[in-house]
Amino acid sequence: MNAITAASAERLVRVPLGERAYDILIGPGLIARAGREIAARLKGRKAAIITDENVAPLYLDALVASLQAASIQASSLVLPAGEKTKSFEHLMTVCDAVLTARVERNDAVIALGGGVIGDLAGFAAGIVRRGVRFVQVPTSLLSQVDSSVGGKTGINTHHGKNLIGVFHQPDLVLADIDVLNTLSEREFRAGYAEVAKYGLIDKPDFFAWLESNWRQVFAGGAARIEAIAASCQAKSDVVVADERENGPRALLNLGHTFGHALEAATAYDSRRLVHGEGVAIGMVLAHEFSARLNLASPDDAKRVEAHLKVVGLPTRMGDIPGELPPAETLMDAIAQDKKVKSGKLTFILTHGIGQSFVADDVPSSEVLSFLKEKHP
């Protein structure tokens, strides 16, 4: 990691995808500058803002004012907050709002919110008129470091999470760090799980830096910007190498196969479990499962759990409030996961901290036995 200095007030990460290349701006005050930044990059002069009832009272007026100052005509749609908004019903509502606003291909859909809004609005942007411009203004740490970057969009069904969607890259990501000050501690911790993930995938030095500097990241300032920028750069590198998840991009799913199964098991009830918490538990399980298969040292799993626990994240299935369905039901959710190919289970496992790899054809019997062992 580079030294943290006061000069790190703003960072730019470029995602070099040829004709679909775009910038990620990271720093303070970006919502107030959104109109100027969007107008400099897009030809269109209309925008449909999609947000939710938690974010709208805080930032919608400022975003609209910024767009209007740049001569961009803005309409807005405010949706219910929460994972259950990623549904067919709300997708239709968003598409209708975008069409009603007469947004054309060079105009933009703007997602103002966390990962739910980004995934939903991005899906709509990808299918309305067979694709319109898309701008991400992520308002949670999780969405700033993960879901706003890379072009994966989608909705949930009763079969599982994110099983219906498209790849639709944004044209710009504005990660305004000021908005993170309004997050609850729980939401910030959940986003931090995705930050830690980048170190655990293939950047052991970054994970070690987080172990030493996580308090400063939580406190804000230059360390927070550095952590977000490092995470966005890490994701950009993977996306550029494998945009449509045919190979190494699957590494970004470290912890997600277990985590998604736990989210499905709690019916996406955010009172019990939010995405980042599921990922935190999932990353511990992935390291423990790797140790069970003699692929990694049990000490690595203990180190991962110790760090996630010290920042306040859940690390065990038993940390989830309420009862969980039996291991067999969790296994069914895993078998429905997008990372299953030709009926064979694919997991992201590890040989140690920062040494993750894609493991194809993992025996389902081993997974089920492990889940029964870890089930509370």
- Whether 287 is catalytic is no
CA–CA separation, 275 vs 266, rounded Å? 11
Band of residue 335 on the pLDDT scale cut at 50, 70, 90: confident
Q: Catalytic residue among 11, 256, 287, 307, which? A: 256
Match 């927070």 to its residue by tokens: 224
Residue 3 is predicted with a pLDDT of 40
pLDDT, position 341 = 63
Please confirm, yes or no, whether 249 is among the known catalytic residues: yes
**pLDDT for 140-197, tens place per residue?**
999 999 999 999 999 998 888 889 999 999 999 999 999 999 999 999 999 999 999 9
Q: Among the options 168, 260, 287, 374, which is catalytic? A: 260
User: Rounded distance, CA 296 to CA 352, Å?
Assistant: 5
User: Would you place residue 204 in the very low, low, confident or very high pLDDT band (cuts 50, 70, 90)?
Assistant: very high
By percentage, how much of the chain surpasses pLDDT 70? 96
pLDDT of residue 275 exceeding 50: yes
Catalytic residue selected from 245, 263, 277, 305: 245
Alpha carbon separation from 206 to 2, 191, 194, 224, 300 (Å, rounded): 10, 16, 13, 13, 15
Active-site choice (2, 19, 89, 130): 130
Distant-in-sequence, close-in-space partners of 299: CB < 8 Å, separation ≥ 6: none
Q: What percent of the chain has pLDDT over 90?
A: 85
Give 11-182's CATH code, choosing from 3.10.150.10, 3.40.1440.10, 3.40.50.1970, 3.10.450.40.
Answer: 3.40.50.1970
Annotation says 275 is catalytic: yes
Catalytic member of 86, 90, 152, 189: 152
List the one residue out of 51, 116, 82, 123 whose CA is nearest residue 268. Answer: 82
* Confidence at 5, pLDDT banded by 50, 70, 90: very low
Verify whether residue 106 is a known catalytic residue: no
Q: How many CA atoms lie within 13 A of 36 on its CB side?
A: 7
Residues 267-289 have a mean pLDDT of 95
Is 338 catalytic? The answer is: no
Mean pLDDT score, 216-241: 94
pLDDT band for position 343 (50/70/90)? low
Domain range summary for the chain, segments of one domain joined by +: 11-182, 185-374
**How confident is the model at residue 46, as a pLDDT?**
96
108-113 and 160-164 as β-strands: parallel, antiparallel, unpaired? unpaired
DSSP symbol at 149? S
State residue 360's pLDDT score: 87
Q: Is 152 a catalytic residue?
A: yes
Is 194 annotated in the active site? yes
Residue range 185-374 forms a domain whose CATH class is mainly alpha
pLDDT digits (tens, 9 = 90+) for 98-132: 999 999 999 999 999 999 999 999 999 999 999 99
Annotated active-site residue in 161, 243, 253, 277: 253
pLDDT at position 9: 78
The amino acid at 206: F
Identify the bridge partners of residue 167 per DSSP, sorted by sequence position.
Answer: 152
Predicted pLDDT at 338: 53
Average pLDDT, the chain: 93
Span 280-305, mean pLDDT?
A: 98
104 flagged as catalytic: no
Q: Is 159 in the active site?
A: no
pLDDT at 147: 93
Q: Which helix (H) or strand (E) holds 109?
A: strand 108-113
